[in-house]
Structure 1
Amino acid sequence: MIVEQGSVRIDLLGGTLDIHPINLVLPNAYTLNLATSLKARVELKEINFPGIRFITKDYGQTREFKTEELNKANLETTLFGNFNFFVRILLLFSVKKNLEITLSSGSPPGAGLGGSSAMGITFYKAILKLLKVEEDKESIIRKVKDIEAILLDSGQTGYQDYYPALYGGVLALIPAIGGVKVSQLYSEKLKNAIEARMTLVFTGEMRFSGLNNWEVYKGFFNKNNVIRSGLSSIAQYAKEAYQAITSDDLDTFFELIKKEGEAREKLFPQIVVDSQRKLLGEIKKDIKDIGMKVCGAGGGGCFILIHKKDEFSIVEKHVKSSLMSILDFTVEKPI
């Protein structure tokens, strides 16, 4: 059996800036994120069935497709449903083996943690392992990103979601002509600080954060001053956060995440829902300087709360009373 895992990410600062060529036009378009212990998981097992059997643990669903059905023509139909993404990768490699493929996302759907992209990367890595083929990381990202863009059919997509599953750690993605520079910022000190001062909360609501990228893209290149100014502020906070980490000023780093969250909400008010605002208001009665940032560039079902280490019990109490849930995570080491 082949088993492969890949981290979903928490975006810290600079989401939306990872859309090409906004990332090149806008100065200092840094994007910072981290690889979590919440992981997509793929299991591949050769079987006697003449084709492919998919099993999804998240939905308790099993689908089988015979070998003769696995062709490019059927990609343009509804035959494969939610498995179209994976069939495209199988066809990319011309996989001839009869396989049982078990999928587990590692995070709630619509959480804003880049789960579908992490799953795509993880599945691609599993196929590489199955076929005993090696491929460089940037090539993997380009191909999986292209396939997901076809399926989303919503214009340009961001690139940050694909990196944590391949690189691990805490990343700064720095755009450059011809590609993206990956700066690994991980340290044990940073890991411990993030785990102590950042709480990941799931509202229980599915929200697909990538779906507003097209509106941002159009607004930016239509020279919408509000969008350009807002993204410039986000870029400035992200660059300063990068500098804070590299100069070991972690208090400033956490304050900048708060500021980025506020700037993002101001630019995209719809990304914060009433239940999140209500929870934040309740926590502020006990913790005046609590900070919140919604996960996903355009708002997903998860958000992070920024607090001091000794304030976690207060945060936990309020989250539980709100009927939301805390997703426990640790920061993964670099791969």
Structure 2
Amino acid sequence: MIIRSRAPVRIDLAGGWTDVPPFAEREGGAVVNLTINRYTYASLHPRSDGAVRLRSADYNTYVEAETVRRLEYDGTLDLVKAALKRLQIEGGLELITRADAPPGSGLGTSAALGVAVIGALNALQAERLSAHEVAALANRLEVEELGIAGGKQDQLAAALGGINYLEFGDHPPISSPLPVSAGVINELEKRLVLCYSGVSRLSGDIIQRVQQAYLQNEPRTCAALRTMRELARQVKSCLLAGELEALAPLLRDNWACQQALHPSVTNADVARLFAVAEANGALGGKACGAGGGGCLVFFCEADRERDVREALRAAGGQIIDFNIDRFGLQTWRVDETTGRVW
């Protein structure tokens, strides 16, 4: 029997960064994000010999060990190893992972992968985890096991799916699914354009710089974080009211705040793609995730999204088609002998 799982990546519309400590814990943060049908996958094949074989289909990297306990962190598939360790998995297995999103995309791919891996491994256990528990554990894998700086919105999005308003503080995250109309979903899918800049970035480096600026009470950084938290609340309201024309200026304001956090959030390539998009019908946009490259998302003038897409493609951007995912983490099984799926 094969156990498979998938978890979606996300686009953060407003408030990203405010889920990252120490700001989130000291002042409280808020984020609006939506998950898209670009997924991370895990395929788990139990083995009877006790041996462990891990493989990334994206990078064609392998890890093999006689038992789970022989695995060591060495920079290769460490997130998968951390999940095996924290879930105290015993017995042999082969685990294969892959992702639809490009590397360093700013779409929360590593967090979504952690959620997918935990989902598959947890299917082996008698005690099942809730979506919130999976998200919390996936966050701990990165922060506690691997020492990777970051917030909590990515794991929650991947586990829950849909469009969510998330609140953070010195308490467990609070998630509120936004019950938007089908028309709002359709309009978002039509008028949002997602573009990969072609520039991969290391979010941990940027996050550490912004954290340090906040701890030093740098006025521009502190003001930007507080404004982004308020922008998330405004985006939530405009989505619930179906007033999508208000989304463009909120995205513009959020991008201005992102750039105020630290100079490394943008660069010449990103600025060039913004200029191209805005000259061809984009009303507002922002960088996804930490910025510094990765993906950019734009809300376009009605019926001009094709102009924006073609102009960005001609300028070297990679357009990523998507629809909004509504399910979050999913697991299923495949019978290796008969091929039956359930």
Report the TM-score when normalising by structure 1.
0.89
1:75 — aligned with what?
72
Q: Please point out which of 223, 239, 242 is paired with 2:233.
A: 239
Separation in structure 2 between the aligned mates of residue 85 and residue 199 of structure 1, nearest angstrom: 30
Q: Please point out which of 184, 197, 204 is paired with 1:210.
A: 204
Separation in structure 2 between the aligned mates of residue 249 and residue 302 of structure 1, nearest angstrom: 25
Cα distance change on mapping 1:323 and 1:283 into 2, 3 Å: same
Structure 1 letter corresponding to 2:39:
K
Residue 249 of structure 2 is aligned to residue 248 of structure 1: no
Percent of matched pairs sharing the same residue: 23
2:339 — aligned with what?
none
Structure 2 letter corresponding to 1:53:
R
In structure 1, list runs of 5 or more residues that go unmatched: none
Cα distance change on mapping 1:209 and 1:190 into 2, 3 Å: farther
Kept in 1: contact 2:8–2:36 (CA 8 A): yes
Cα offsets for 1:87-137 (capped at 9, x unmatched):
222122332222111101221111111101110011001111122431123
Cα offsets for 1:223-272 (capped at 9, x unmatched):
22121111122222112111222233221133312221122123333222
Cα offsets for 1:11-68 (capped at 9, x unmatched):
11111100234124336x311111110010000112355411122111123332221x
Cα distance change on mapping 1:230 and 1:176 into 2, 3 Å: closer
1:33 — aligned with what?
33
Separation in structure 1 between the aligned mates of residue 292 and residue 165 of structure 2, nearest angstrom: 20
Cα distance change on mapping 1:210 and 1:199 into 2, 3 Å: farther
State the secondary structure of the residue aligned to 1:96: coil
2:119 — aligned with what?
125
Cα distance change on mapping 1:220 and 1:250 into 2, 3 Å: same
Residue 41 of structure 2 is aligned to residue 44 of structure 1: no
Separation in structure 2 between the aligned mates of residue 40 and residue 163 of structure 1, nearest angstrom: 14
State the secondary structure of the residue aligned to 1:109: coil
Cα distance change on mapping 1:260 and 1:311 into 2, 3 Å: same
Kept in 2: contact 1:200–1:303 (CA 8 A): yes
Kept in 2: contact 1:75–1:88 (CA 8 A): no
Report the TM-score when normalising by structure 2.
0.88
Separation in structure 2 between the aligned mates of residue 332 and residue 130 of structure 1, nearest angstrom: 26
Separation in structure 2 between the aligned mates of residue 170 and residue 227 of structure 1, nearest angstrom: 27
Separation in structure 2 between the aligned mates of residue 266 and residue 20 of structure 1, nearest angstrom: 18
2:340 — aligned with what?
none
Kept in 1: contact 2:18–2:24 (CA 8 A): yes
2:195 — aligned with what?
201
Separation in structure 2 between the aligned mates of residue 262 and residue 236 of structure 1, nearest angstrom: 14
In structure 2, list runs of 5 or more residues that go unmatched: 329-342
Q: Return the offset for 1:302.
A: 1.0
Separation in structure 1 between the aligned mates of residue 280 and residue 317 of structure 2, nearest angstrom: 18
Aligned residues between the structures: 326
Separation in structure 1 between the aligned mates of residue 60 and residue 185 of structure 2, nearest angstrom: 34
Q: What root-mean-square deviation, in Å, do the aligned CA atoms of Structure 1 and Structure 2 show?
A: 2.1
Separation in structure 2 between the aligned mates of residue 101 and residue 270 of structure 1, nearest angstrom: 36
Kept in 2: contact 1:48–1:98 (CA 8 A): yes
Kept in 1: contact 2:192–2:299 (CA 8 A): yes
Q: Out of 168-177 and 275-284, give the one that drifted further.
A: 275-284
State the secondary structure of the residue aligned to 1:113: coil
Separation in structure 2 between the aligned mates of residue 334 and residue 294 of structure 1, nearest angstrom: 24
Kept in 1: contact 2:57–2:98 (CA 8 A): yes
Separation in structure 1 between the aligned mates of residue 27 and residue 184 of structure 2, nearest angstrom: 28
2:314 — aligned with what?
321
Cα offsets for 1:283-307 (capped at 9, x unmatched):
43333x5322111134341111221
Alignment of 1:1-335 (within 5 A): 1-26=2-27, 29-47=29-47, 50-67=50-67, 70-71=68-69, 75=72, 78=74, 81-150=75-144, 152-153=146-147, 156-187=149-180, 188-287=182-281, 290-334=283-327
Separation in structure 2 between the aligned mates of residue 271 and residue 103 of structure 1, nearest angstrom: 29
